[in-house]
Structure formats: C-alpha cells, structure tokens
Structure 1
Amino acid sequence: MAGRLKGPTGRYGGRSAQERQVERRRRFLDAALQLFGGTPGYRATTVAALSEAAGLSTRQFYEEFRTLEDVLAELHLQVNGWAEEAVLAAAAEVEGRPLAERASAIFRAYAGNVTGDPRRIRITFVEIIGVSPRLEEQRLARRARWVDFICGEAAAAVARGEAAPRDHRLAATAFIGSVNGLLHDWSAGWVEATLDEVVDELVRQLLAILRPS
C-alpha cells in the first residue's frame, strides 16, 4: 500500500475530523502498547487483532498507518519520550545540586518511568530489536540522544569541577549499553536484586565515569 487512505472530513458528534483522527491514533497506540508490550508481542500481532483491541476497524487502521511497523516505530518514540520527560523534570528539580545527588535523582526518574510499566521495557529493549534496518536506525538514534544527554551532564559537571575533563562520549555509550542490559535482565527476572539496588549500581557506574580518579 503506497500510503494511508484518506480519512473522513467534517464534524461528527461535536468533534472535528482532526480531533477524531487524534483519538483514533491514540487508541491504536494504546492497543499496540498492550499487544506489542505484552501478549502476543509485535511479531505475532496482526492488523485485525490490533484493530479489534483498539475497538476500531482495519479500514480505520489504514487511514492512520501503512503497516504495523509504523505503529511500533511511533510507539517506541512515544515510550522514550515519556522517559525523557521524566528525566528532564527531575533534572530541573535538582538544578545546582552536587553531582552525586543530581545523577541519582535523574537516573531514578528514568528507571522509575521505564520500569513502572513492564510493557514499556519490552517495547524499548525487546520488541524493537531486529525488526528492520529502519527501526534499527531509529533505535540507535534514540540511544545516541541519551548519550548526548549524559555528555551534556558531564560537561556541566566538568565546568563545576566535579568531573574529569575528557571526552565522555565513549564511556557514556558504554554506560547506556549497561543500562539497557541490566534493566532488561532485571525486568525478565534474571537478576536477583530490587530495583533500588539495580539503580544504585548503575548510579555508581555513572559516577565512576564522571568523577576524577
């Protein structure tokens, strides 16, 4: 299919066509979070099953998306967006605080947001992997955004004299890999630790990267 079908226009039930489109799209994404992030998972979900879960028709699906991959791509960005909002809010609350306190607050906000709903972990760390070159590029681009955030925090810490003045990009990239791996393994029950213990360990790793030896 070359593109989306044309959606309805005009007002209906007191809502504009644009308002109805936003509502339909939200319902499809909510259903995708449930099916992709839970049972049966992205690869076993059909357009018909997703439409049924959303309480909409397959015709309405194709008015909003071309493929299920498009839904997964948007959902992946949405889940990361929620985590980013939580991180930025936490960063604003601890502005000017010492590095250890700031790093702990920021990372706890991230971990709390991502692990607060197991479906978000699955979308972020499992379902997005290996789907297509396009989604792999998106996944790596979103990871690079987190690396940039850490490098920004590192640069600010250097300016305050709280971190070693060096290029932190490689270390930040390695740290993000550790975050992804450990949070996934913890959520899957492969790590015998509380979430607080997992977060404490990752914060220690982050501070070891930033602080002068």
Structure 2
Amino acid sequence: MAGGTSEGEGLTERLKRSTGRYAGKAATERHAERRRKFLDAALELFGAGPGYQATTVAALCETAGLSTRQFYEEFRTLEDVLAVLHLEVNDYAERAVLDALAQTGDLPAAERYGSVFRAYAASIAEDPRRIRITFTEIVGVGPRMDEQRLSRRARWIDLIRTEAAAAVGRGEAADRDYRLAAAAFIGSVNGLLHDWAAGWVDATLDEVVDELVRLLLALLRSAE
C-alpha cells in the first residue's frame, strides 16, 4: 500500500520511529543511562585503574559495555568525561559542606568547623577514586582543565571568605580581609588531602581533619 509500512518493518522499529521510545524508555532516558555508564566506567579507570592519561576511548567503551559510536553521541573527548567527573565530585563535596554549615550554625566555632570538615572529608574519602580524580588526575591535563580546577578552587575560597565574614559578625574572628588567608587555607586542604591519599602522610583521616580545623581556627583567631 502506498505510504504504508513495509512488510519487513517490525513493530519495534515502527514504535521507535513514531514515539521515540524503546523498551518503554524515551530517548532522553536512554541517553542519560548511557552517559552514566560512561561516567561510572571513567570513575573506575581514571580513579582506580590506569588513570586518565593511560585510558583510551576504546578501553572506556569496553568497561562501560557500550560502543565507540555511543561514546561520541554523548561526549567529544575523554577530557569531556574527566571534566564532568571533576565537577560532580566537587558538587557532591560542596553540598555536604553547605548541609553541615546549615545544621551547625548554633555550635561553637571549633565544633562547627570540625563537623563541616568531617562532612567534606567524608564526601571525598568515602570513595578513594574521588580523591584521585580531584587531586591527581585533573592536574596537568591542559589549559581547559587548569581553568576548571582553578575556577572550582575559587568557589571554595569564596565559601571560606563568606564563613569568615559570618565569624566576624559573631565576634569569633578578627575583622580583616581574608582573601589571601582563604586561598592559603584551601591550598593547605588540597595539598594535605592529596598527600594523605597518596600515602605520604602517616595519619588517619580524623587526624588530618583535626589539623585542618586547627589551621582554620588559627586563621580566624583575632590578632593579638
């Protein structure tokens, strides 16, 4: 019949063509699932396996159980995958910190910052692959990743400056410009957690967090 479907066309193909759905899932759902599989595979390869520099698109696809064609439908390059993972880990940690700040507003400074940094450390350290992505694999990749890493670092610095301003308002900190102090503190956080994750620091995570809290309290302490 003119304009009709051919006898060889199956019901599945007609359904896909007419509704954009396959096996009960819309195209957007299928893309989201494939994207997540690629990201999960990359977290394993970049964060626990050979690392970003030693991973190929073919190896990532094999680990994800998907094809290279499907990879290029979701990403342009492996660097795109690394960029998304880095942002995900930072977003997860940021939510943990903001939640801890919201829940500890009435506590004394030492208790509040202890809770906040334990929340941050737990969000990163509960999966060692996240530490490697955040503090190792992202470094030295290229200008784009350097810009993203520094941009996220700037967000953390702004968060510390905001908290310092709140501490000033509560009479817990000296009234001064905390730009350099916040940058130095974030550098200490990144460096210490990187070295701890690499096994270069002989301490428990709780001991690392306690030291970071002491550093922050010293930073905020009123000048003599």
Under a length normalisation based on structure 2, what TM-score does the superposition of the two structures give? 0.90
Aligned-partner Cα distance in 1 for 2:196–2:63: 29
Aligned-partner Cα distance in 2 for 1:22–1:169: 39
Match of 1:65 among 75, 80, 99: 75
In the alignment of these two chains, the number of paired residues is 206
Structure 1 residue ranges, 4+ long, deviating more than 3 angstroms after superposition: none
Aligned to 2:6: none
1:199 aligned partner, one-letter code: V
Match of 2:173 among 163, 169, 174: 163
Aligned to 1:195: 205
The structure with the larger Rg is 2
Once the two structures are TM-superposed, the CA of residue 89 in structure 1 deviates from its matched residue by: 1.3
Identify unmatched segments of 5+ residues in structure 1.
Answer: 1-7
Aligned-partner Cα distance in 2 for 1:193–1:130: 27
Please tell me the root mean square deviation across aligned C-alpha atoms, in Å.
1.2
1:90-143 Cα deviation digits (max 9, x unpaired): 111112222221111111100111111111011000000010101100000000
Aligned-partner Cα distance in 2 for 1:87–1:81: 10
Deviates more, 1:9-18 or 1:136-145: 9-18
SS in 2 for 1:87: helix
| Alignment partner of 1:184 is 2:194 | yes
Aligned-partner Cα distance in 2 for 1:169–1:96: 25
Under a length normalisation based on structure 1, what TM-score does the superposition of the two structures give? 0.94
1:81 aligned partner, one-letter code: D
Please give the residue correspondences for 1:1-213 in structure 2 after superposition, counting only pairs within 5 Å.
10-213=20-223
Q: Structure 1 vs Structure 2: percent identity of aligned residues?
A: 73
